[in-house]
Structure 1
Amino acid sequence: MQIKYTKGYLDKLESIFASSEYNLRYEKGNFKSGYCVLKETKIVIINKYFTLEGKINALLDILKALDFNPKDFKNQKQQDFLIELKQTELKL
């Protein structure tokens, strides 16, 4: 699967978080990696000043780190999207 750096692709990634237990927030901060994951409170914070490409790359990194199970999502499109993402290798 090819990663597309578009607003629509970002919306798809954000919908995964909206359907999960994690809350996604965009805020300013001095995160070394550009994002912060608070696993205990299930909050994901992305640097709001990131470019579109930076936000997408950060969300992809977080999705791989959190290792969501596609079967936990009710929406079939989201399940398929997560399966595709798991098979995609991010090369920067």
Structure 2
Amino acid sequence: MKYTQTTLTKLEAVLGESGYVLRYERGTFQSGWCVLEAKKVVVLNKFLNVEGRINTLLELIPQLPIDFDKLTLESQKLYEEAVKKLETA
């Protein structure tokens, strides 16, 4: 997977299509992210670079309850790739 803005945008789309709101905020996050599950809000540390944001989303997305059927075909492929990456790690 390439660490580009396009990849980041696609990962952000996976969350958006799942009903999650992604925000970049300042804060003292131990892992670089925070999830407010009741409101379906994901907050990432805004000081992460593109590679850090991608790695954080790849770590986070498989842990969220995402409705696979709501995703577009491209997002489904990206979601499956994120799940495989987490399983092999």
> In the alignment, what sits opposite 1:71?
69
Deviation at residue 67 of structure 1 after TM alignment: 4.6
Task: Extract structure 1 runs of 4+ deviating beyond 6 A.
Answer: none
Count of matched residue positions in the alignment of Structure 1 and Structure 2? 88
Give ranges in structure 2 of 5+ residues lacking alignment. Answer: none
RMSD value, Cα: 1.6
- Normalised to the residue count of structure 1, the TM-score between the two structures is 0.84
More helix by share: 2
Moved more, 30-39 or 63-72: 63-72
Q: 5+ unaligned residues in a row in structure 1: which ranges? A: none
Of structures 1 and 2, the one scoring higher in RCO (CA 8 A, sep 6+) is: 2
How many percent identity over aligned positions?
38
User: Structure 2 length as normaliser, TM-score?
Assistant: 0.86
Return the alpha-carbon distance in structure 1 between the equivalents of residues 41 and 35 of structure 2.
6
